[in-house]
Structure 1
């Protein structure tokens, strides 16, 4: 829409907007939340607890740093991707006096980190010595290279993990080669398109990252999607490592924690049901061998659920975080979420059912911190987003024990394993930029 004849410097443009019928009509169509006394009561639940704690915690976190590349083309950029898997022996915490902040050296001595890294090209960046190459082709090949990495030389690659959990699936997408009329056909590794041009396709093209690649702007968002899938595949890769009969007993006394929600969004979200199925399979195997399901959860530090938790944990007399007692557990079902957190008709399809492999739990820890925990869906009961019974959350009490024991005062609503994982995965801005400059031989 083009507006002419408005003198913005005199304020006439603002007057025109204030009197605009379109603006008033738009305001009239916005549904507002009902904050009357009849609103939903937060679904507080009682969770059976004991003194169980794991021997070790495996925490996974990743980060990306996007930096401009000066190669003569406008908007040229690339991102460093760093993934960290931290193994923490929490028996070392037994010597720490309760309610005291331990020395950072204690944490440094009790964890062991494995990292996986790579560089993701963005707009106007191509490979050296590849005439006719395109930035999106370089990006596609780099994704293939990163997911061909392994966290342990004796174990399968992340790409092999993806292949194993999606075996038999054929991607129903357009060929990623520009102007190719063929349908994309899934293959292994790198191979040639069936069309007359015979250009290279990659197994990871099935994840559809290339569909979001922006040749005229920033690619920070799609690079973030690559990071997230790398985190999730690393988690499944590790679980598959431990399911070996010689190692499966470790699952009994191990907690696995992923930074952020247990979910996959965007173009690669189609893998979420396969991830969920694999978690359920390994959990069932653990239940058979160890007598217990997997203990796996994600921690969200921001977002709509955390905002909602802050809103409801409030009293006019005492202010924020004053309504609920410490160790309060709230499990919102699908109807409550639709009415109070993610606006949609209450009988609509449950929020997150296509993208999440975990269920939301709001928890106020023993030290009064807020946590939005994603409890992994490990059985068929958990797949019903209306079901908030204990059977849908078989290891929730153990997860809450871990949160209480390892919550840290160093950061608001912090959780020590993820603090350590982030410390290994975080890329200092100056250092990261220097790495990128050196990769592109920049001064």
Structure 2
């Protein structure tokens, strides 16, 4: 890395261009030709699919955002992250009713949306909260406190209760976890709530330490990656929290007219990836109960991806030789097998199925009636759905209802976008230019007030 004000010269560039090792390496890279892309589409065999006409009364869309800001507290590189996870409840029935009475009063239309959010500031590098001795300990405590303080229903369980219900599914045969305190040589003992380490120092441990997010904390630099992990855990545990709250109130029958749309795939990546399998088991349990009171209907939970390799691949196979789009037929689905994914999207020779440790659902491509391309995921609700060696419509719960709903929800505001996720994103997104200045000022003011 250069010093401030130092500019690169051309000598390193010349060395790289002339390097035999570099030329050999770049020359060995495989490039997929246009004909190979067409072969991918042929092997995928899109199915012309008749969408269902089911429409929910309500839809819950969930999206999150995080932004890191520099904090001036006298320590170099001090950083905090603002994390928000927004849930937008759309009154779909009312939207349809208003849609037939155009033009619609904007004030009346705004009543069709209600938003709730989890909002917090988390400590990063060189941020020490009161009573703690390190940034890592401060982060662990903050994560636990947010889980403890959030709940959907005032008298219902907290998000921490939901998390600890998932924690019971965590396997005990995994790699041993060390105590979060570096000077403690004991193995981390999983527990509920806040408890103490059995060593002579008796320092605080938390049930949320089992997420292992703190293990990747960078003590001397930015920590955007772990804040992204925290956000994705909250988004996905919040889905389970909603369903468990409905169960506790005996409202599972409402799922016959409710859909949930989550930004991103039905998966959890990074250190807390184990929770994806726990979510899978809990969804299966709740779904079994729900089917008894919904006339046999499965939960409709859809993960939708905006970016990434699968989105790029779908775009590639839809592109014709002249550069225009249209190779993939409208109102068609492509159901992905493990073999297809590994040969065409995420190259791998692993014997384990793609996403085995991270996904609690399976992907499909759908091109809507209007021509929008959507990469979506439907949950594993039975073991049959997990067999990625084959891809059949029966392995995707409520596939007809899902694609019919996607057709209804497509937004004209952005390419390949869903209206509910646009709404959820508008509640969650932190504008990077203005947002950082506002949040930095807020942090400065709060820290100053704490010190007086």
2:436 pairs with 1:434: no
User: 1:306: which partner in 2?
Assistant: 311
Does structure 1 retain, via aligned residues, the 8 Å contact 2:52–2:403?
Answer: no
User: 1:421: which partner in 2?
Assistant: 424
Stretches of 4+ moved more than 6 A in 1?
100-103
Secondary structure, aligned partner of 2:297: coil
User: 1:30: which partner in 2?
Assistant: 29
1:208 is displaced (CA, Å) by 0.3
1:15 is displaced (CA, Å) by 3.4
1:96 is displaced (CA, Å) by 5.0
2:96 pairs with 1:94: yes
**Equivalent residue for 2:268, pick from 264, 271, 283:** 264
Distance 1:375 1:102 in 2: 34
Distance 1:124 1:439 in 2: 17
Distance 2:309 2:154 in 1: 40
2:204 pairs with 1:200: yes
User: 2:3: which partner in 1?
Assistant: none
Deviates more, 1:144-153 or 1:43-52: 43-52
User: 1:151: which partner in 2?
Assistant: 152
Distance 2:185 2:24 in 1: 44
2:186 pairs with 1:177: no
Distance 1:239 1:177 in 2: 35
Q: Which runs of 5+ in 1 are unaligned?
A: 1-7
Secondary structure, aligned partner of 1:320: coil
1:28 is displaced (CA, Å) by 4.6
CA offsets 1:134-190 (integer angstroms, 9 cap, x no match): 111111100101111222222211111111123264573011101211000011211
Instruction: From the superposition, tell whether residues 348 and 174 of structure 1 become closer, same or farther in structure 2 (CA, over 3 Å).
Output: same
Does structure 2 retain, via aligned residues, the 8 Å contact 1:116–1:151?
Answer: no
Instruction: From the superposition, tell whether residues 106 and 412 of structure 1 become closer, same or farther in structure 2 (CA, over 3 Å).
Output: farther
2:394 pairs with 1:391: yes
Secondary structure, aligned partner of 2:116: strand
User: 2:252: which partner in 1?
Assistant: 248
Instruction: From the superposition, tell whether residues 281 and 336 of structure 1 become closer, same or farther in structure 2 (CA, over 3 Å).
Output: same
2:126 pairs with 1:124: yes
Distance 1:344 1:105 in 2: 52
Does structure 2 retain, via aligned residues, the 8 Å contact 1:331–1:361?
Answer: yes
2:57 pairs with 1:61: no
Instruction: From the superposition, tell whether residues 359 and 187 of structure 1 become closer, same or farther in structure 2 (CA, over 3 Å).
Output: same
Alignment TM-score, normalising by the size of structure 1: 0.91
Does structure 2 retain, via aligned residues, the 8 Å contact 1:310–1:320?
Answer: no
Instruction: From the superposition, tell whether residues 321 and 105 of structure 1 become closer, same or farther in structure 2 (CA, over 3 Å).
Output: farther
Does structure 1 retain, via aligned residues, the 8 Å contact 2:362–2:379?
Answer: yes
Distance 1:113 1:395 in 2: 26
**Equivalent residue for 2:414, pick from 411, 419, 431:** 411
Distance 1:189 1:244 in 2: 21
Secondary structure, aligned partner of 1:362: strand
1:34 is displaced (CA, Å) by 5.8
CA offsets 1:13-69 (integer angstroms, 9 cap, x no match): 433323323213323543444654683323312434331111110111111121110
Secondary structure, aligned partner of 1:39: helix
Distance 1:383 1:16 in 2: 50
User: 1:3: which partner in 2?
Assistant: none
Q: Which runs of 5+ in 2 are unaligned?
A: 1-7
Instruction: From the superposition, tell whether residues 424 and 19 of structure 1 become closer, same or farther in structure 2 (CA, over 3 Å).
Output: closer
Instruction: From the superposition, tell whether residues 245 and 200 of structure 1 become closer, same or farther in structure 2 (CA, over 3 Å).
Output: closer
Distance 1:300 1:104 in 2: 29
Instruction: From the superposition, tell whether residues 409 and 146 of structure 1 become closer, same or farther in structure 2 (CA, over 3 Å).
Output: same
- Number of residue pairs matched by the alignment: 430
Distance 2:389 2:288 in 1: 22
2:327 pairs with 1:323: yes
User: 2:73: which partner in 1?
Assistant: 71
Does structure 2 retain, via aligned residues, the 8 Å contact 1:66–1:77?
Answer: yes
Instruction: From the superposition, tell whether residues 107 and 133 of structure 1 become closer, same or farther in structure 2 (CA, over 3 Å).
Output: farther
Does structure 2 retain, via aligned residues, the 8 Å contact 1:360–1:375?
Answer: yes
Deviates more, 1:269-278 or 1:149-158: 149-158
CA offsets 1:302-340 (integer angstroms, 9 cap, x no match): 1001100110111124x3322223212111211111111
The root-mean-square deviation of aligned C-alpha atoms, in Å, is 2.3
2:403 pairs with 1:400: yes
Does structure 2 retain, via aligned residues, the 8 Å contact 1:80–1:436?
Answer: no
Distance 2:360 2:134 in 1: 35
Distance 2:229 2:127 in 1: 19
Does structure 2 retain, via aligned residues, the 8 Å contact 1:297–1:358?
Answer: no
**Equivalent residue for 2:370, pick from 367, 371, 375:** 367
Does structure 2 retain, via aligned residues, the 8 Å contact 1:257–1:298?
Answer: yes
